[in-house]
């Protein structure tokens, strides 16, 4: 590639050749949700800035893509706190040891079957000391999770954030944010006046629906049409309208998606199962700075008179990023 000498670092992947995209969303483990909730809670305090965090992550060099997304961003947070002397290495190590103690359970020391009753509904929990904790695959937490727990504990002690700051964000990412974008789309499908306002000034149209995006970024909405197919990528990191769509799916954060969409969007779309006719323009939006994007799919044929609730069942998150289109109803 002719621009290789200008590359800023391992994160600057737009235009690279890369592998086939794993188009499945792998979801998030509890540890990842916690790390994300912590990061969002810290961001809202204004003590550290997003661009500072990005710079630290970019400075990881070769390790950048060796780390999973949440590990990379979580460890960037810890490194930045230390760099800014918001807590000391000693303070951190002490708290890290404390957190690890809570998870120290001999692997052969299985729970007494008589104590298993606490797992059943309606029976009071009797957790004592170090309960074994695992995720849905039966695996314990990854190493970086302890860094996250220690950071959270220190920040709680310093009264910078509270447990509920983290918890409320975990809950909103699970049960509020992912449904907002869908409700915006169904409203635009049934209300021509709203659609027009959404395309002209998405941020205020969404605000008028009573949705507070709690975000610094502006939102721009583009409508799919017979003339143009829109799709969104962030080649430098994974900018995404999180408070409107929820967390980005795993493929959105992957090196392969970030590398390839800008230079072979049609091949990428085929991997997601859609073929765009050559007569239709494919327009890629690299979401690299202060705007965030919502793609408004075409309303499927055969849905005249449908309620917003019925229409919402036809929409998936992929449609709102432009890597999928809702099926017509026959």
Among 126, 278, 305, 309, binds another protein (CB under 8 A): 278
Structure tokens at 309: 């609730």
Name the segment binding another protein (CB under 8 A); options: 22-30, 45-53, 130-138, 316-324: 45-53
Among 129, 138, 216, 275, binds another protein (CB under 8 A): 216
Establish if 100 lies at the interface with another protein (CB under 8 A). no
CA distance 28 to 31: 8
Among 51, 89, 121, 193, binds another protein (CB under 8 A): 51
Among 285, 299, 317, 319, binds another protein (CB under 8 A): 285
Within 13 A of 271's CA, how many CA atoms are on the CB side? 15
Burial of 101 (0-12, 13-18, 19+ CB in 10 A): exposed
CA quadruple 310, 313, 319, 325: dihedral positive or negative? negative
Concerning whether 238 is annotated as a catalytic residue, the answer is: yes
Which residue out of 17, 35, 164, 234 is catalytically annotated? 234
Name the segment binding another protein (CB under 8 A); options: 67-75, 111-119, 149-157, 258-266: 258-266
Establish if 323 lies at the interface with another protein (CB under 8 A). no
Secondary structure of residue 234 in the 3-state scheme:
coil
Establish if 86 lies at the interface with another protein (CB under 8 A). no
CA distance 72 to 118: 36
Contact (CB, 8 A) for 180 and 211: yes
Helix or strand run (H / E) with residue 295: strand 291-296
Establish if 287 lies at the interface with another protein (CB under 8 A). yes
Give φ, ψ of 283 to 5 degrees.
-115, 115
Within 13 A of 26's CA, how many CA atoms are on the CB side? 15
Which residue out of 35, 221, 238, 256 is catalytically annotated? 238
Concerning whether 221 is annotated as a catalytic residue, the answer is: no
Based on CB atoms, which residue is closest to another protein, 105 or 291?
291
Active site (catalytic) residues: 234, 237-239
Q: Which residues bind another protein (CB under 8 A)?
A: 1-8, 12, 14-15, 49-52, 54-55, 58, 84, 216, 218, 235-236, 262-267, 278-279, 281-291
């Amino acid at each position: 590639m002719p621009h290789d000498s200008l590359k800023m670092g391992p994160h600057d992947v737009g235009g690279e050749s890369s592998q086939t995209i794993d188009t499945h969303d792998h979801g998030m483990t509890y540890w990842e949700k916690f790390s994300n909730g912590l990061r969002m809670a810290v961001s809202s305090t204004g003590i550290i800035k997003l661009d500072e965090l990005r710079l630290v992550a970019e400075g990881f060099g070769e390790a950048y893509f060796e780390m999973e997304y949440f590990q990379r961003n979580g460890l960037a947070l810890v490194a930045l706190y230390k760099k800014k002397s918001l807590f000391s290495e000693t303070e951190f190590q002490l708290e890290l040891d404390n957190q690890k103690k809570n998870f120290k359970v001999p692997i052969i020391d299985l729970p007494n079957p008589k104590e298993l009753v606490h797992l059943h509904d309606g029976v009071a929990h009797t957790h004592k000391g170090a309960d074994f904790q695992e995720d849905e695959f039966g695996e314990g937490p990854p190493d970086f999770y302890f860094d996250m727990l220690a950071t959270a504990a220190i920040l709680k002690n310093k009264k910078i954030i509270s447990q509920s700051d983290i918890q409320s964000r975990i809950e909103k990412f699970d049960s509020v944010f992912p449904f907002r974008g869908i409700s915006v789309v169904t409203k635009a499908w049934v209300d021509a006046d709203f659609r027009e306002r959404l395309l002209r000034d998405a941020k205020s149209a969404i605000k008028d629906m009573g949705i507070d995006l709690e975000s610094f970024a502006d939102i721009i909405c583009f409508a799919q049409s017979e003339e143009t197919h829109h799709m969104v990528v962030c080649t430098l990191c994974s900018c995404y309208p999180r408070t409107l769509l929820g967390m980005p799916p795993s493929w959105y954060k992957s090196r392969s998606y970030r590398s390839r969409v800008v230079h072979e969007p049609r091949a990428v779309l085929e991997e997601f199962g859609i073929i765009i006719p050559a007569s239709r323009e494919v327009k890629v939006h690299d979401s690299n700075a202060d705007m965030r994007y919502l793609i408004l799919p075409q309303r499927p044929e055969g849905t005249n008179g449908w309620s917003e609730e019925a229409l919402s069942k036809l929409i998936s998150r992929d449609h709102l990023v432009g890597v999928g289109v809702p099926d017509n109803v026959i």
